[in-house]
C-alpha cells in the first residue's frame, strides 16, 4: 500500500529508512530518498499539477499481467521524470518482473545520483500486492 507525503515539505526532508533487496533496512538520503518517495506516493493533483505515482490507483485492483507490468513501469517513470528533467538523477532504468524472479520484489528502479555519481537500486512491491 502506498503512503501519502506532504509534497511541499516532505520531498526534501530525510533521511528515510527503506528495506533493501537483502531484506535489511538502511537509510537513504538525497536523490534516492526523493525517488523512493515519488514511487510510493499515491497520485494526486495540487494546484492543477499532478504529483505521485498513478500506478497505485490504476493498478491496485489489477492482476499481474505483462500489460500491467508495462503500465507499472510507465507510471513509475512518469512519477520520477521530473528528477531526470531537473538533472538530479540520470540513467534511469525500471525493471518490472515476476516477483519470484527478483527475490520477492515486483519492481527495481536503478539510477545515478548526479550530485554524488553513485548508482542506486531501490526495490518496490508491486501495487497488486500478491507478493
Cα–Cα distance list, 22 to 37, 82, 112 (Å): 20, 29, 20
**Residues 93-121, mean pLDDT to the nearest whole number:** 80
> What domain range is 63 assigned to?
7-124
The model carries a pTM of 0.74
On whether residue 79 sits in a domain, the answer given is: yes
How many domains does the chain contain in total? Answer: 1
Angle formed at CA 53 by CA 92 and CA 6, multiple of 5 degrees: 110
Handedness of CA 74, 42, 80, 111 (dihedral sign): negative
Closest of 17, 37, 20, 44 to residue 28, by C-alpha: 17
**Residues 84-111, mean pLDDT to the nearest whole number:** 81
Cα 12 to chain centroid distance, Å, stands at 16
Question: Cα separation of 119 and 98, whole Å?
Answer: 23
Strand stretches in the chain, DSSP E = 16-19, 25-28, 44-46, 49-51, 89-96, 107-113, 119-124
On whether residue 1 sits in a domain, the answer given is: no
The confidence score (pLDDT) of residue 4 equals 36
The CATH number of whichever domain residue 86 belongs to comes to 3.10.450.40
The confidence score (pLDDT) of residue 49 equals 75
The confidence score (pLDDT) of residue 17 equals 58
On whether residue 98 sits in a domain, the answer given is: yes
* Local confidence band at 7 (pLDDT 50, 70, 90 cut-offs): very low
On whether residue 100 sits in a domain, the answer given is: yes
On whether residue 76 sits in a domain, the answer given is: yes
* Local confidence band at 29 (pLDDT 50, 70, 90 cut-offs): low
Amino acid at each position: 500500500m502506498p503512503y501519502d507525503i506532504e509534497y511541499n515539505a516532505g520531498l526534501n526532508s530525510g533521511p528515510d529508512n527503506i528495506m533493501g533487496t537483502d531484506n535489511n533496512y538502511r537509510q537513504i538520503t538525497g536523490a534516492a530518498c526523493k525517488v523512493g518517495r515519488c514511487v510510493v506516493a499515491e497520485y494526486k493533483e495540487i494546484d492543477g499539477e499532478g504529483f505521485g505515482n498513478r500506478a497505485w490507483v490504476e493498478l491496485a485492483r489489477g492482476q499481474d499481467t505483462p500489460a500491467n507490468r508495462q503500465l507499472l513501469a510507465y507510471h513509475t517513470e512518469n512519477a520520477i521524470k521530473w528528477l531526470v528533467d531537473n538533472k538530479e538523477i540520470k540513467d534511469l532504468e525500471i525493471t518490472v518482473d515476476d516477483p519470484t524472479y527478483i527475490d520477492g520484489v515486483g519492481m527495481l528502479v536503478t539510477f545515478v545520483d548526479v550530485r554524488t555519481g553513485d548508482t542506486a537500486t531501490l526495490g518496490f512491491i508491486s501495487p497488486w500486492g500478491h507478493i
